[in-house]
Amino acid sequence: MTSTPQHFLTLLDLEPEVCQQIIRRAIELKKMHRDGITHTPMLHKSLAMIFEKSSTRTRVSFESGMTRMGGHALFLSTNDTQLGRGEPISDSARVISSMCDIVMIRTFAQKTVEEFAEYSSVPVINALTDVYHPCQLLADMQTWLEYRGDMQGKTASWVGDGNNMCHSYINAAIQFDFNLNIACPEGYDPNPDIVAHAGDRIKVYRSPAQAISKSDLVVTDVWTSMGQEEEQQARLKAFKGYCINDELMSQANEDALFMHCLPAHRDEEVTASVLEGPKSVVWDEAENRLHAQNALMEYLVSLA
């Protein structure tokens, strides 16, 4: 490849129309699979999957998704590759991208995926950093669309930590044109630059009930993300009162949905009754990781 590849390091890397196109294509790919239609746009293509953090959904969805599309996925843990022994990212990127058709990275710093992308000759996908988790948002938006139709003008509420998922929800609010109410305890707000970029569609509250009121979608995530384990006790204290329970859910609109990217901690950020309750769509949301990412990979590789 001679031109610069299209990467997916944040949701804002793609035009809003392309984000829409990908989630709609994901729904088609899901149906095609259910109908037994074989679709192999990745035949003889390889995806390198670099993991510096743990994963269940991301690894299984990308690996299984590549197989379903006729390709192959390589699981590369930093413990077992030279990346973990200090080989520069720029060197690793040039080598890995010379042998694979697409790369997925889960790591700590956003700068790491940016640097990898700078030196990669093939598309690079951010599969979670400390700052963003854009693949999860494609799956969440696909799920919202499947259940309730177009999200334009609707209201979602984010309750909990102003973390990587929260930042990607802010970007999703821009790309899919919905309002987002955020409730975080003091000291755990999302990055103010990311909030400011989204303009007045974002409102930040301290009260979960206020944020949730009149929303069409309620979302939360763990209070302690990967890499923050030492802060767990302090976070348990700070987030008291931010658990999504049936009473809080009842503040949302009658037909509101509940989402969580998983893994979930029952009776910390969400009660078991909400997670397993009738408004929760978390299992479809998890499955949709596979379909949304297949649509994303199909799009990125089609440009190459």
- The contact set with ligand NVA (CB under 6 A) reads 128, 163-165, 221-222, 225-226, 261
55 binds ligand CP (CB under 6 A): yes
Could you list the active site residues? 106, 133, 136, 221, 261, 289
State how far the Cα of 193 lies from the Cα of 77, in Å rounded to an integer: 32
Instruction: Report the SS3 class of residue 110.
Output: helix
282 binds ligand CP (CB under 6 A): no
Closest distance of CB 165 from ligand NVA, Å: 5
Closest distance of CB 132 from ligand CP, Å: 12
x/- track of binding to ligand CP for residues 247-266 (CB under 6 A): --------------xx----
**CB closer to ligand NVA, 122 vs 180:** 180
C-beta pairs of 262-265 under 8 Å, 24+ apart in sequence: 262/57, 262/286, 263/56, 263/222, 264/222, 265/222, 265/223
200 closest CA partner among 163, 173, 162:
173
Q: How far is CA 155 from CA 82, 135, 150, 201, 257, in A?
A: 45, 21, 12, 9, 11
Closest distance of CB 75 from ligand CP, Å: 13
Partner from ligand CP, ligand NVA, none binding residue 32, C-beta < 5-8 Å depending on class: none
State how far the Cα of 164 lies from the Cα of 169, in Å rounded to an integer: 9
Closest distance of CB 268 from ligand NVA, Å: 13
**CB closer to ligand NVA, 97 vs 224:** 224
Partner from ligand CP, ligand NVA, none binding residue 26, C-beta < 5-8 Å depending on class: none
Helices (H), 177-277: 192-197, 208-212, 232-238, 246-249, 272-275
Report the interface residues with ligand CP, using CB under 6 A: 55-58, 128, 136, 261-262
